[in-house]
Amino acid sequence: MKVVWSSEALGKLDEIERFIAQDHPERAFAFIELLLDKGDSIASFPEMGRVVPEFSRFDIREILVGNYRIVYRVNPTQVVILTVFEGHRALRSEEFDL
């Protein structure tokens, strides 16, 4: 199965990298690589993530990486990474296209 990163998710990765890089540029790059690797790994088993509690839809799932949530939608032919964000806050549907 193919993994596609939405423009919203890629923009969030840029924001996360800039924020971490303010104090630790090396860690910022490594952490973004980790997020990308974890997101791409969903291709081998799309149901690995839990159903996102805010939506309770079987096709909207998430995996946790440290304090961050990678939210994705499972389609018949691909996985679309919808957004990435810090897990301490609630997810709002207006943050991405369902």
Asked, for residue 98, whether it belongs to a domain, the answer is no
pLDDT attached to residue 97:
67
User: What pTM was computed for the model?
Assistant: 0.92
The two tokens of residue 66 are 């440290």
Burial (CB < 10 A; 0-12, 13-18, 19+), residue 72, is: buried
pLDDT digits (tens, 9 = 90+) for 11-55: 999 999 999 999 999 999 999 999 999 999 999 999 999 999 888
Are the C-beta atoms of 2 and 8 separated by less than 8 Å?
no
64 pLDDT higher than 70: yes
Domain count, the chain: 1
Asked, for residue 34, whether it belongs to a domain, the answer is yes
Domain span at residue 38?
2-88
Report the CATH number that the domain containing residue 7 is assigned in CATH: 3.30.2310.20
Asked, for residue 95, whether it belongs to a domain, the answer is no
pLDDT attached to residue 87:
84
Asked, for residue 93, whether it belongs to a domain, the answer is no
